[in-house]
Structure 1
Amino acid sequence: MDPRTSAQDVMRCDLCETAVVQMHCDTCLVNLCKACVGEHISADLSRPHKIVDFKDRTSTTTYPACTSHDTELCEMYCKQCDIPVCISCLASNQHLGHELSKLLQILEEKKKLIIKEQFELKDIIYPTYLDIVSDIQNRMSQLEKEFGDLSTVITKHGEDWNREIDKLVKKLKAEVDVMKNTQLQTLQKHLDEINKSISEIKNEIDSVDVAVNSNDISKLFSVTSDMSRYRNIPEKILTQLPRFIPARIYGEELSKMFGALSSSSLTSDKHGYSMKTPQKSPEAGSSPPVKQLLDEPETVTTINTGYRDNLYNVACLSDEEIWTSGNNSTMKLFSINQGSLLKSITTKSGNWPSNIAVTKSGDLVYTDCDDKTVNIVKNEKIGEVIRLQNWKPKGVCSTSSGDLLVIMDSDGNKQTKVVRYSGSTEKQSIQFDSKGKPLYSPSPYYLRYITENRNLDICVSDDRASAVVVVNQAGKLRFRYTGHTTAPKNELFDPRGITTDSQSHILTVDYYNACIHIIDQDGQFLRYIDCGPGVPWGLCTGTKDNLFVVQCVNKQVKKIKYLK
């Protein structure tokens, strides 16, 4: 067994390689037996060998050898040259006038720095990287689920199309059968009439044959035939088959009719993670391009929703589709470009929804004030997400993180608060300012509106207080916007629907003044958008910053372009 490589053997002297190690040279870092100590020292008398018991090895500081003087050890450090130096270096005046320190002092400072960096690596950086790995893995799992849900939605939509096509095919085939039967019955009736005439003609022929072959003159005189009747040949009934004229299928138009995916993106954000904190940077994602306000906003299209009662709410599913709701239990999905109704969903309780929103995964969420529930619609099936006690949910919005923000009033309408939910779990409650005063005014009305800005501020339209109340992500009051002095109709500011856009603008409907206020993220007024007649109420913005405004009494939704 090789004593130098065997892990099972005791340590041997580095010189004789046979005796057990007993001593150690801290200067040369050599293991020795007692018999070899003298030989080791005499082999290099130029160095001050520090011989210690093997158990006390490395107790002596080992100075580095000088690169200029082979026999010298460096005990000083030149800060200007940033190198260790020996006595001979100092005597040679190479470092005359330079700031010098004891090497041990520099080593202590270096050791403190290394220990500090090691602590940062071990207790801060390493756990942070582990958290990042966990976050990425969780988001990958979430992406798998959300993309799976998206595929399921598309598949379900395809199945809906197939059902409608099957219905259409059955309807057309039924029409073909009716046409066929009508024509066959007509021809059969005509055939029966001709067969009857043939039978009569045959009888007539037989009677004539009997008379002609008889010698009885009276029989000949009794023969009377209506030849003019038989000479009038029956008319020919012509049939004309219907033609099936298939509509031409254009891939692009079919895609528009079926639906399209909004664009996805992968962006990097160097501020997306931070040390020792789970919170993301307020400006999540890359900054959007700067867009200027148009001098004159333009109405791109108007959608007639067909509601018999008042229309209140609108929420964007995509830039091609919007959900709407009003003063009844039906929520409708419309195609924006075609203005056609795509789908209708009735609330589970039969109550009308107080507010609606669309989640990041494209599911419809609605609040039921009377039932005290927040519900989500997945694949046309309604599931209860939140059920409240002693509170009534009103406004709702889906945040950039996937949470739900719900504004709610207490029973009796004496208190109002905003609650953040992750699924059905309450994460945050916002009710009072730093002085303990209520942030929001309670309201007996069903309709309250809330949204999240790009900087993660929470914006609430408080119609009872005639203000837009904006708090930061932590729930601290940032500002209250109470309208602009030059309102179009010079009426009291009465905010209703509220939304934000890619520029962090806050847009809110002013009910009494029939307009929309646009303010920046710090509450500075920018301009009005005149809504014209129809009583504006709810509103939302799409990913391309198109504005959709509800006309309450006209039961219409207007698509407005207001950014360049």
Structure 2
Amino acid sequence: MHREIDVIIKKLKSDLDEMDSKYLAAFYKHEEEIKHMLSDITQTIADLKKILNSDDMGLFSAYKSRNAEFRRLPPKLKVTLPRFSPQKIDKQHISVHFGSLSELSIKTKEQNYTMDSSSTEHCPPERSLIDVPQIITEIKTDYKYAETVSCLSYDDIWIRGNSNILKLYNLQRGLLKSIQTKSRNRAYDIAVTGNGDLVYIDKTNRTVNIVKNKEIETVVTLQGYTPRGVCGTSCGDILVALNNDDWATPSKVVRYSGFTEKQSIQFKDNGQALYSSGCYTKYISENRNLDLCVSDWEARAVVVVNQAGKFRFTYTGLPSSTKKPFYPYGITTDSQSHILIADLDNHGIHIVDRDGQFLRFIDNCHLESPFGLCVDTRDNLFVAENKTCKVKKIQYYK
């Protein structure tokens, strides 16, 4: 048995090294069509690291390598590696490690590397919405009501509810881990980073906190603003939606890189506020085309800006698809750059495309007060229901 485990561990480390030094680097910061593959590789790396740090035999035995999928690189990539000095570098043995990818530049030219000749497809492939979305599985949480859900892997999800305890659930095995917030205040939003770390915001003491293993570190402390929504980005930054304390100044979205403020998004070019003021929660998600999507409950709208913070459009719901006014809650995006929005009062999920065009309203699956949303790297939708305290995993693509 120990020999079999050693073989599995060796294979895990081999897969991790291959993806870490080759495939993730090759896809990083490339054109929009491979953003889905980047997310998939990053999530898989986090999953592999989790398995290697675990003593759970079930995770070892259930492991299936996906490296064959990641060998199908797009056909016209040229990877230019950073220059190093003064040492002379053997180009045949260069290893680019995860965490230092910002120095890479990738240009679209004729390929100059070996690739499987059978693979000429681009990512992500176009997918079609199914006519009738269906529940794959569901779990009952221990909260009185569930609010936010964030995917750690295909089967492991972090959930935030009505207490100061953050809980990690596995869809098959139930509760895996419980973490109490550092201040013992209730968390107001959560997100999982590309490294698999959990980030949460503490509205009461105005902080952004990161959980690594069981250690909690406060990485941002705010003055004059209160954090109300958080998400990770494809490049490793963190986006935080902030409400001003005076309730008259419009809210804003701040990008943190290395937990240092890098960008502030608050107004349109004409000086008009992008987001409402006041104390209401604003959930946020980065789309695959790098747009920033904010669910603004007070404004009854989803506001979308591009990566530079320039206003693109506002989505205010589709009256013909709902009976009650549109008040958006949780928000997430998928591999097709579709935006999914929780409509709690109408017990459904809006799906719109990257330009704000309405595509579908999911009102089956017996949804009751959907609040939090997230999508895994296989485009399965997780819905946290505020009323039933359940989390449902839903298939909505063919």
TM-score (norm 2): 0.74
- State how far apart, in whole Å, the 1-side matches of 2:129 and 2:393 are: 16
Amino acid corresponding to residue 551 of structure 1 in structure 2:
E
Partner SS for 2:61:
helix
2:271 to 425, 436, 444: 436
Match of 1:419 in 2: 254
**Cα deviation digits, residues 346-385 of structure 1 (max 9, x gap):** 1001111111000001111111111111111111111111
Equivalent residues of 2:346, 2:369 under 8 A apart: no
Q: 2:313 aligns with which of 479, 494, 498?
A: 479
- Indicate conservation of the 8 Å contact 1:548/1:560, yes or no: yes
- For residue 255 of structure 1, give the secondary structure of its aligned residue in structure 2: helix
**Which residue of structure 2 lines up, in the alignment, with residue 331 of structure 1?**
166
What displacement does 1:156 show?
4.0
Size of the alignment, in residue pairs?
A: 323
Q: Give 2:361's match in structure 1, choosing from 528, 533, 538.
A: 528
The structure 1 residue matched to 2:217, chosen from 366, 370, 383, is: 383
What is the one-letter code of the residue matched to 2:329? R
Q: Please tell me the residue identity of whatever aligns with 1:358.
A: V
Counterparts of 1:505-520 in structure 2, within 5 Å, are: 505-520=338-353
Partner of 2:90: none
Q: How does 1:24-423 map to 2 (within 5 A)?
A: 153-158=50-55, 161=56, 255-256=61-62, 265=70, 267=73, 270=77, 286-307=122-143, 309-336=144-171, 338-414=172-248, 415-423=250-258
Q: Helix, strand or coil for the counterpart of 2:288?
A: coil
Distance in 2 of aligned mates of 1:347 and 1:271: 45
Alpha-carbon spacing, 1:440–1:148, altered in 2? closer, same or farther (3 Å): closer
Task: Give the one of 376, 384, 388 matched to 1:542.
Answer: 376
Cα gap change, 1:261/1:448 in structure 2, threshold over 3 Å: closer, same or farther? farther
More strand by share: 2
Look up the equivalent residue of 1:537 and give its one-letter code.
F
Q: Are the counterparts in 1 of residues 289 and 337 from structure 2 also a CA contact under 8 Å? A: yes
Distance 2:278 2:105 in 1: 34
**What does residue 6 of structure 2 align with?**
none
Judged with a 3 Å threshold, the aligned counterparts in structure 2 of structure 1 residues 253 and 417 are, in CA distance, closer, same or farther, namely closer
Distance 2:355 2:61 in 1: 41
> Residue 527 of structure 1: SS of its match in structure 2?
strand
Max radius of gyration: which structure?
Answer: 1
- Counterpart CA distance in 1 for 2:45 and 2:170 is 24
Pick one of 368, 392, 396 that aligns with 1:558.
Answer: 392
Structure number with higher helix proportion: 1
The one-character-per-residue Cα deviations of 1:313-362 (angstroms, maximum 9, x if unpaired) are 000001111000111101111112x1511111110011111110000011
Structure 2: gaps spanning 5 or more residues: 1-24, 29-42, 81-102, 109-120
Residue identity (%): 49
Q: Please list the CA deviations of residues 284-308 of structure 1 after superposition, one character each: whole Å capped at 9, or x if unmatched.
A: x95311110001000111111111x
Question: How far apart are 1:491 and its partner, in Å?
Answer: 1.0
Give me the whole-angstrom Cα distance separating, in 1, the residues matched to 2:325 and 2:45: 48
Higher RCO structure (Cα 8 Å, ≥6 apart):
2
Change (3 A) 1:476 1:148: closer
Deviation at 1:468, TM superposition (A): 0.6
Decide whether the 8 Å contact of 2:225 with 2:243 is kept in 1.
yes
**Alpha-carbon separation, structure 1, partners of 2:79 and 2:359:** 31
Query: Compared with structure 1, are the counterparts of its residues 541 and 150 closer, same or farther at alpha carbon in structure 2 (3 Å cutoff)?
Result: closer
**d(CA) in 2 for partners of 1:314 and 1:306?**
14
Q: CA RMSD in A?
A: 3.2
Give me the whole-angstrom Cα distance separating, in 1, the residues matched to 2:58 and 2:190. 31
Separation of aligned partners in 1, 2:66 and 2:202: 29
CA distance in structure 2 between the aligned counterparts of 1:544 and 1:150, rounded to whole angstroms:
14
- Which letter does structure 2 place at the counterpart of 1:491? K
The structural deviation recorded for 1:534 is 2.6
Cα 1:470/1:261, change in 2 over 3 Å: farther
Amino acid at match of 2:209: N
- Aligned residue type for 1:289: P
Contact in 2 for aligned 1:487/1:513 (Cα 8 Å): no
Deviations 1:481-516 (Å, cap 9, x if unpaired)? Answer: 01102123x211110000000011100011221110
Q: How far off is 1:154 after superposition?
A: 3.8
Distance 1:292 1:378, change over 3 A: same
1:452 partner letter? E
Q: Residue 354 of structure 2 aligns to which amino acid in structure 1?
A: Q
Q: 1:431 to 1:381 in 2, by over 3 A?
A: same
1:419 counterpart SS class: strand
TM-superposed deviation, 1:394: 1.3
Conservation of the 8 A alpha-carbon contact between 2:198 and 2:212:
yes
**In 1, Cα distance between equivalents of 2:357 and 2:105:** 26
Q: How far apart, in 2, do the equivalents of 1:551 and 1:376 lie?
A: 25
User: Per-residue displacement from partner, 1:108-156 (whole Å, max 9, x unpaired)?
Assistant: xxxxxxxxxxxxxxxxxxxxxxxxxxxx79x9xxxxxx99987764454
Change (3 A) 1:529 1:417: same
Aligned to 2:337: 504
TM-score (norm 1): 0.53
- Alignment partners' CA distance in 2, 1:150 and 1:293: 27
Deviation at 1:439, TM superposition (A): 0.1
Once the two structures are superposed, what CA deviation does each residue of 1:157-180 show, in whole Å capped at 9, x if it has no partner? 22xx5xxxxxxxxxxxxxxxxxxx
SS in structure 1 of the partner of residue 304 of structure 2 = strand
- 2:16 is aligned to none
Which consecutive unaligned segments of at least 5 residues does structure 1 have? 1-135, 140-145, 162-250
